[in-house]
Structure 1
Amino acid sequence: MGQGLKWCPDCEQIKPLGEFPSTTRKTSGRHSYCKPCHNARGKETAQRRYGIGQREFDELLAEQGGVCAVCGDPDPEHVDHDHRTGWVRGILCFNCNGGLGQFRDSPTRLARAITYLRGTTWQRVLIHPGVFQMCSPTRGRPPSRHS
């Protein structure tokens, strides 16, 4: 086989190395399967791991209208599950699935993030009898000219 080429055992094709996901776990620096086959295997593994097959995945996705259950982007591919119970909650896009994980599936953390984004952490401060001003000592400043 030519240098810079690799065989994918799933699709049985020889492809350029760039078509294979990189990894630090293999001496070759590349996964065994090309990107489309690698992704399909990952999706299949996740579905088996969470107790649903392709039919259930397709049904759940159809119930969601074919979009991510959180953001509404089309063609989500990630099976989301409750880490405490193991129950499947829905099909999410990569970013929403990762986001929930980063917030550790905590409604409290997510609510605080929403509050932060909405800017409702600002406080009413009495500046004159009966007159209030919304202010925050750390929010809403313009970017520094020195940064």
Structure 2
Amino acid sequence: MDEKRCKICQKILPIEEFEKNQYNKAGDVIRRSECRTCRKYKKPIPSSLKNAFERTNPRPTIGASFKCPICERTLIIEKNRDVNLDHDHYTGAIRGYVCNDCNTGMGKFKDNIFVLERAINWLKGKDE
């Protein structure tokens, strides 16, 4: 039985757990690098949870000053999308507001701590 490691959860799973993505020049099937479970990971914030959070933690308004808890940059909100309500894409739990750059960065890494740690080591010049 063929197996493959998921780049997101790092589990070794049967090849059937990875969707077909494309074919190479030889006509062989190439499968996605993330398993079906991780591929469906993007869980939206339930509107009831978002509304409850925003009642007690109002979204920063246009013209307001906002300090991102991740990059610690202070910015003046010019557009609503300058600040995002971040959440865990697996559980839907809200983590809080972050700047758009940090939210995009975490999204590109699919909230995968292992990949983020490797990126940190890469930036430090370590090959771990």
Q: State the TM-score bracket (shorter-chain normalisation).
A: 0.3 to 0.5
The higher-RCO structure (CA 8 Å, 6+ apart) is 2
Q: More strand per residue: 1 or 2?
A: 2
> Greater Rg, structure 1 or structure 2?
1
